[in-house]
Amino acid sequence: MVEYGSIPQTEPQITDAPPPPLRSQLTAELIGTAILVQVGCGANCLAIYLGVLDGMWQAAIVWILGATLGLYSSAALSGGHLNPAVTLSFAVVRPADFPYANVLPYWAAQLAGAFLGALTNLIVYHEAILSYEAKNGIVRGGQASIQSAAAFGDYWSLSKYVTSGWHAFLLEAFGTAFLVFCIFMLTNKKNSVPSAAVPPLVAIAIGSMVVLLGPMTGAGINPARDMGPRLATLLAGWRTAAFANWIVYFTAPLMGGPIGALIADRLLMA
């Protein structure tokens, strides 16, 4: 296969070699997304519950590390999408490299991986979350408890810099378009970017959006990264409060991603 969400192969390849079994691809997506979410949202947990990170760049660096590890862990088998918006973009813009039939299975694997990564953080930071809620008088499950769920899902309504759901939608669509644009430029064969260099460069694109958009929307830019943790917090007692603002973080990336891919492949590199 594999074009990395994807990583281009630099060594000579046998063109008729079969792709890895779909089961292996899905397992790689699950594991890679779990790493991305556990490490990245772990930075959010450190910042919110423990107060040990100072400034967006410190959190962004941890997100960069998590993304790099997740991508290296999955790229050889699945292409390292780790994001439904990336998967959809490949199916739409590079269907010869990624078939439409694999979109829903990839989405399911990514969602499951994000859920497992979030569940891990709920276990690791259990006492820190309880302490934070007690200190701030937060009753889990009430609408105000999105403040303590914010290390998991994204909630634009917590930011004083976002005026409406449409504003948040535009920011998330832009951030995802930027990320997918970078992925498609890095993996376009005309650019000849070495395969080993792609994961950290894509991770830097993610970290850049965390810094630029994080104070406003949380920089979800990935429906699985947002929805998987919401499902985990739903089961952990936040109930329906966990799903506040969810529609923006599901729809905006799925619209913004293909736009970034089209600009890269059909406009700049056509």
* Assigned domain for 127 exists: yes
Query: Residue 135's domain spans which residues?
Result: 22-268
* Assigned domain for 2 exists: no
Close Cβ partners of 161 (under 8 Å, ≥ 6 residues apart): 215, 216
* Assigned domain for 16 exists: no
Number of structural domains, the chain?
A: 1
**Distance between CA 258 and CA 181 in Å, rounded?**
9
**Distance between CA 4 and CA 71 in Å, rounded?**
9
In this predicted structure, the answer to whether residue 193 has a pLDDT above a threshold of 50 is yes
Angle (nearest 5°) at CA 220 between 99 and 222: 10
What's phi and psi for 222, nearest 5 deg?
Answer: -170, 105
* Assigned domain for 13 exists: no
In this predicted structure, the answer to whether residue 167 has a pLDDT above a threshold of 70 is yes
In this predicted structure, the answer to whether residue 56 has a pLDDT above a threshold of 70 is yes
**Would you say 4 and 80 are in contact if contact means Cβ atoms under 8 Å apart?**
yes
* Assigned domain for 87 exists: yes
**Per-residue pLDDT tens over the stretch 22-35:** 999 999 999 999 99
Average pLDDT, the chain: 93
**Distance between CA 60 and CA 44 in Å, rounded?**
10
* Assigned domain for 159 exists: yes
**Per-residue pLDDT tens over the stretch 109-157:** 999 999 999 999 999 999 999 999 999 999 999 988 999 999 999 999 9
| Residue 16 pLDDT | 56
| Residue 143 pLDDT | 86
Q: Check which CATH number belongs to the domain holding 89 and give it.
A: 1.20.1080.10
Cβ atoms within 10 Å, residue 127? 9
* Assigned domain for 131 exists: yes
| Residue 270 pLDDT | 76
* Assigned domain for 193 exists: yes
pTM: 0.93
**Distance between CA 78 and CA 22 in Å, rounded?**
8
